[in-house]
Structure 1
Amino acid sequence: MVIISIQPSFEEVIHDVEIGNVEKDQFWINILASDNVEDGIALEEIVEVSKEDELKFHNKNGLIFERKISKDVNYELTYDSLKYKIKTPKRKLTINDTINILTSFDVSQDQSHFLVCTGQGDIIIHDMDTFSIKAHIHQAHLSTISKSLFFPSGKVILSSGLDYQIKVWSIDEVTSPARVFKGHTQDITDLAMVENGRNFFSASKDGFIKLWDCGSGSNIRTLQRSNSIRDGVTALKVTNQQSNTKFESSFDSNEFGTSGKNLFAGQNSGIVTLFDLNTKEEVLHFNSLNDKVNVLVDQSTPDELIVGYGNGIIAEWDIRNPINPITEINLNGEINSISRSGSDLVISYGSGYIFQIDGKFKELRNQTIYAGIDDNFKFTTQRKEEIYAANNQSEIVVF
């Protein structure tokens, strides 16, 4: 698989030539095989930009670069007879604050606000239209914030820290948390909402998954992998249930929205465990692909799941065949995040490359490149037709 990256400032180069600041200029395009990502071994192509009656792009080795003005793409690249679409940001923001390193990022469902969290334990909420700060929760946690989510309402935030605590915050009243949940004994790695957020799950390196009730603050149920209780849980995904359970259903009076759902839990060993939420029973597990699970993404059917691993593998699994994945690709760089854009997958991996491929892995070589940004964009999320990305230096972009 070929990965393509473009000089982050290439649009500035084009703009300077277009308005006549310079007669001509150039930018680079790096082309590398995915198995060379860690080594950084790339073929560098130079695109020369000039303008007579119109802009012209020229490459000595036959690479074709074109500007395309459309809803979906801004440019198109043809290399080795294959076409690649190129997207550039609609908006960019560098957060001017005291953030040292960004550790979590989320956008509200209505796209009115976004939040960033820091290694100092702060949560900073921004207005999406103006990018102004709505609220800054100083030391929301005693140390690094590992995960943060907006509730579906967009008015409340759920956060977890390496202080082993989970907290609920109102974005209109941030002086103290509305709820504090305690029970994990090691780092909390992921959070997953159930429907409107009355209940949620937390995962931890202690090997436990806890189901919580926001209303009462109680821990309703604790789940764990049956034959390896010390296998830390690294990722969670709640999906709708396909098959009928053979066990008797088991629900708590404070449990809401779990009926008819499954919970997938990715683990440090690389195992993915499936729990039936009607019964809270472990149903099956997908075999390990030799590194920890970083990301879980549901497919169009409840039987299927996309899994991203620390070793750069992305695999599509089916619960009807948990021994071997249906399809897999190896990017040879740690999978940071996977978001959906329609039926496609937007993937950040390695040092923060972002690209988009068909969600069924059918056209791996016909990808969409996310350009006009530096590396380190490891956080991505999708809202409606837009992709939001953030890097750990607190730069936010919207595609």
Structure 2
Amino acid sequence: MDSDPLILPICTAQPDFLSVISDVHEGLVPEDTFWLSCYKFGEPSVHGKVYATLDEVNRDLVRLEGRNGVELRSREALYSASCPSLQMPQTRLAVPMKTYAENEGRKVIKITAFDVSPDGSQFATGHMDGSIYISQTSQSRPTDLCRPHVSTVTSLRFFPSSRVLLTASSDFSLSILPAAPPEDPSAQGLITPARRFRGHTRGITSTAIVSKGRNLLSAARDGTVRLWDVPSESQIRMMGSANGSCVPVLAISVGEGTLQAGDAATDEAGVDPREVDTEDKLVFTALQDGTFETLDLRTKRSVFRSRAPPAGGKSVLQAIAYAPTENLVATGSTKGVVSVYDTRALATPLTTFKRNTASIEDLAFVPLDALSFATDAGARGSVGDGSGLGLAIATEDGLPYVADVRPEGPGVRAELVGSDCDGVRAVRVVQAQEREVWTAADDGAVRRYRVRDV
């Protein structure tokens, strides 16, 4: 039988706690307080307060004192919290380096899909009315607008060039949009699709770009994963999930790799002349019945499917992430459970953990080193050197976080604070000039976090 998931703690702070500290530092008020709460599923919650007071001698120093069971430390603008009664060690409170709010002064526009270009120069958001905004990271407002769909945008993916965008929707269709930055960054323009793809019979849930973008993949609630040819706007292959049973597919993740699966791995479906760089790719799929499956793009066949959840414990798998170079795949369920597997031994998870029962909305692997989300000015402050691999996790309860996966995980590496418990639907890890974690939430805001501050 599967073991119960490890329970990780939660720490959440008043969203504007930095403003409270700033007001004290600037002398606007001599002292002030903000709340800091800690939780652990199945145990009593701890709701404390932090008192911020301007030092009487050093007027550049704000002293922070946690009370009612919480502790808060700060050093060189790095903040970390702990809660002894819940055995929660010092955990970094990572605040956004920048927040992009599309709805400033207007009604909140919920973000339903999100992506950042590989070069970090722009990002795209999708919405329930089928509209898509493309924004430059150097600008405070969107520069391009398009409405290629008639209902909710469910997936956005930039091509490797960072100048083309793949979109998908619950209206069963995909489109390709030109996404080159405008010559005049201050001008807002309308863009029209360059390609459209139709064939799914239910809403599309997830997409992926194969290699440099000659081929695309899409997954849908019709239980199929489809391979597309971009130049001809045609479908190359349709693959039914769950060994042909067509269980709704809610997320996919693609990367290089091979799995051994007896005769199935050598029984090729034939290579279509429109296929490019599909012979060494695996597609990991998260299914509505709580299982995940691996498809070999070379053979167009299933080479692995996980066991069904135990009776009474059924949950939907809603997120999946594959790290080919690390031989790891992670899944996230609607019951808040994250499981991490070694792709060389997929039958049993390496680790399983959760924080509460809030749905896992998205996952992204993030490389970590000793200075990643440090809790002190020069060291992480935990066992070992802090290097390894983590998972950035988006959650429905609006409490996204980064978890250590290995070598010392699982554990909470950082709380991604800044939202007021609005559901976070997407998370991305970008390696441009420096590694960053981005989130998009129901409050219409995109938040950008540095992995390293020192």
1:330 aligns with 2:330: no
Distance in 2 of aligned mates of 1:205 and 1:95: 30
Alignment partner of 1:312 out of 336, 351, 355:
336
Contact 1:83 1:366 in 2 (8 A): no
Distance in 2 of aligned mates of 1:249 and 1:45: 61
Aligned to 2:437: 387
Aligned to 1:77: 81
Alignment partner of 1:170 out of 178, 181, 198:
178
Q: Provide closer, same or farther for how the CA distance between residues 339 and 320 of structure 1 changes in structure 2, counting only shifts above 3 A.
A: closer
1:3 aligns with 2:14: no
Contact 1:241 1:302 in 2 (8 A): no
SS in 2 for 1:133: coil
Moved more, 360-369 or 384-393: 360-369
Contact 2:53 2:62 in 1 (8 A): yes
Distance in 2 of aligned mates of 1:292 and 1:28: 34
- Please give the TM-score of this superposition, normalised by the length of structure 2: 0.81
Aligned to 1:282: 302
Q: Provide closer, same or farther for how the CA distance between residues 229 and 248 of structure 1 changes in structure 2, counting only shifts above 3 A.
A: closer
Aligned length: 391
The letter of the residue matching 1:393 is D
Q: Provide closer, same or farther for how the CA distance between residues 207 and 144 of structure 1 changes in structure 2, counting only shifts above 3 A.
A: same
Contact 1:89 1:372 in 2 (8 A): yes
Contact 1:356 1:367 in 2 (8 A): yes
Contact 1:311 1:333 in 2 (8 A): yes
Distance in 2 of aligned mates of 1:149 and 1:266: 18
The letter of the residue matching 1:386 is E
Contact 1:68 1:76 in 2 (8 A): no
The letter of the residue matching 1:115 is A
1:118 aligns with 2:127: yes
Contact 1:111 1:128 in 2 (8 A): yes
Aligned to 2:378: none
Moved more, 95-104 or 381-390: 95-104
Distance in 2 of aligned mates of 1:67 and 1:318: 37
Aligned to 1:43: 46
5+ residue gaps, structure 1, are none
Q: Provide closer, same or farther for how the CA distance between residues 229 and 185 of structure 1 changes in structure 2, counting only shifts above 3 A.
A: same
Moved more, 303-312 or 366-375: 366-375
- Please give the TM-score of this superposition, normalised by the length of structure 1: 0.92
Q: Provide closer, same or farther for how the CA distance between residues 67 and 57 of structure 1 changes in structure 2, counting only shifts above 3 A.
A: same
5+ residue gaps, structure 2, are 1-7, 181-188, 368-388, 450-454
Q: Provide closer, same or farther for how the CA distance between residues 42 and 59 of structure 1 changes in structure 2, counting only shifts above 3 A.
A: same
The letter of the residue matching 1:293 is L
| CA RMSD, Structure 1 to Structure 2 (Å) | 2.1
Aligned to 1:246: 266
After superposition, residues 161-240 of structure 1 pair within 5 angstroms as: 161-172=169-180, 175-225=191-241, 227=243, 229-240=245-256
Distance in 2 of aligned mates of 1:361 and 1:236: 25
Distance in 1 of aligned mates of 2:307 and 2:294: 12
1:370 aligns with 2:416: yes
The letter of the residue matching 1:117 is G
Aligned to 2:96: 89
Distance in 1 of aligned mates of 2:136 and 2:126: 15
1:160 aligns with 2:168: yes
SS in 1 for 2:397: coil
